[in-house]
Amino acid sequence: MKAGAAVGRRAGITGKRWVFISTLAIMGLLLFVPSFHNDYINLTFRNILMYAAMSYGWNLIGGYTGYVSFGNVAFFGIGAYCSAVLSKTGIDNVFADVGLALVMCALFAIVVGLPILRLRGHYFGIATLGVALGLTDLANNLDFVGGSGGLNLKQADQAHFYLYYYAMWAVTLVCMLATFFIARSKLGYAFVAIRENEEAAQVLGISPTRYKVIAWALGGMMGGAAGAVFAPANGFVDPGTAFAVDNNVFPIAMAILGGMGTASGPFIGALLLSGVNEILQEKFLWLHSLFFGAIIVLIVVFLPRGLMYLVGLRGGVRRWLSDLRAFRV
């Protein structure tokens, strides 16, 4: 009873302050990655940051609002193609890239979101799958963006290689801070209210469709910004890289591992899962996807609420097991 009461008293959605401060501190350390002057380390951590930003984007709609999207890679792809098209017209500026991606992703989210976010629950998830697949097909067949052959961007020299690292770092930091502040704002409470009980939110005058579209658009802008920095850093965009299955699945798995609906979860999840993936790739070149998949399954089964849940857990293994049972309906 005592232990249960302690858990019950835990703050609703704001989480623990020291956890977020630690997350920011780790983020600060990542600013020194380029000083290793090692391209492999630089690339690895830029990818971690990229996945973290995408994971934050997914987290707003999937974690906070409770609408699981399987199509958020669409925004990453749109962002990447925005940069590629800009580069084709002679504009190679990371601010222009990110700016265009933000606008396009917000527009796309609103136009596509208004019809599909009227759907409740699982139907939205299924519709988002179609959105991602449809965009891949579209990119494959649009000559304007290079079709299946893709587009080459201006190749990044060494200085730009570092610039894109810092750009990705900045994008991720903004995503992290934006999530932190949104979660504590009225906007964030509207998202969580929809997740917790959509009918109740509606009765209180919160328009579910409006706030779902806002969550999806804000999250989409995060994914789009990551794509906009990725494309020039990578120097090449085609449908396979822009709408890669990994870019769809990893951010979701990372948010789940770290903790859905938390401001630290996506980053911690991206750090850990990417680390594990790197190690697996090194040890088991051929089967690493199998092990990686198994790890994702284990996370969902044993840590459905992620590591941030463990941080707040009072009552030890017994509590953990009883909460786990509550997830098995």
Give the footprint of another protein on this chain (CB under 8 A): 4-5, 7-13, 186, 189-190, 192-193, 196-197, 199-207
Residue 187's identity, in one-letter code, is: L
User: Which of 4, 240 has the CB closer to another protein?
Assistant: 4
CB 54 within 8 A of CB 251: yes
CB 271 within 8 A of CB 26: yes
- Nearest approach in angstroms of CB 19 to another protein is 17
CB 247 within 8 A of CB 96: no
- Nearest approach in angstroms of CB 11 to another protein is 7
User: Which of 120, 154 has the CB closer to another protein?
Assistant: 120
- Nearest approach in angstroms of CB 2 to another protein is 13
Question: What secondary structure, in 3-state letters, does 94-130 show?
Answer: HHHHHHHHHHHHHHHHHHHHHHHCCCCCHHHHHHHHH
User: Which of 206, 324 has the CB closer to another protein?
Assistant: 206
Nearest to 255 by CA among 114, 72, 76, 85: 72
User: Which of 190, 257 has the CB closer to another protein?
Assistant: 190
* DSSP annotation string for 186-228: HHHHHHHHHHH-HHHHHHTT--HHHHHHHHHHHHHHHHHHHHH
- Nearest approach in angstroms of CB 303 to another protein is 17
Report phi then psi at 233, rounded to 5: -65, -35
First CA to last CA distance, the chain: 23
User: Which of 152, 202 has the CB closer to another protein?
Assistant: 202
- Nearest approach in angstroms of CB 204 to another protein is 5
- Nearest approach in angstroms of CB 232 to another protein is 41
User: Which of 200, 245 has the CB closer to another protein?
Assistant: 200
Which run of H or of E encompasses 84?
helix 73-88
User: Which of 141, 197 has the CB closer to another protein?
Assistant: 197
Q: What angle do CA 166, 168, 173 make, to 5 degrees?
A: 90
Three-class secondary structure of residue 83 per DSSP: helix
- Nearest approach in angstroms of CB 36 to another protein is 41
Show the tokens assigned to 107: 């527009």
